[in-house]
Amino acid sequence: MAEGACGHISAVKKVLGPKERVCDDCVKIGATWVHLRTCQSCGGTHCCDSSPNRHATKHAKASGHPVVASAEHGERWLYCYPDDAFAEY
Ligand SMILES: [Zn+2]
Ligand SMILES: [Zn+2]
Ligand SMILES: [Zn+2]
């Protein structure tokens, strides 16, 4: 996987995509989102920091799952929360 990023990103062998193109938590509360990110530890999909509820960041902090991938069409990148590391793949 991407060289020069962090150990968490290097550990991602196969990037998980979204099971459904929705924010798992926004759906529960009837909220809307801007962009989606998929957690590479559990496969959950959550909304980005441009969204009102920022569920991807909340999920990463609450669960300790470090790496998300963009769940947007045409975007191929990974982001690690604890290291603030970014890598395209
Ligand atoms: Zn990392
Ligand atoms: Zn959300
Ligand atoms: Zn997760």
Tell me: the pLDDT tens digits for 2-37?
Answer: 566 999 999 999 999 999 999 999 999 999 999 999
Cα(35) to centroid(ligand 2), Å: 9
pLDDT score of 48: 97
Query: At 18, which amino acid appears?
Result: P
- The ligand that comes nearest to the alpha carbon of residue 40 is 3
- The ligand that comes nearest to the alpha carbon of residue 82 is 1
Give the pTM: 0.94
The region, left, alpha or beta by phi > 0 then psi within -120 to 50, assigned to residue 78 is beta
d(CA 1, CA 37): 18
Cα(7) to centroid(ligand 1), Å: 5
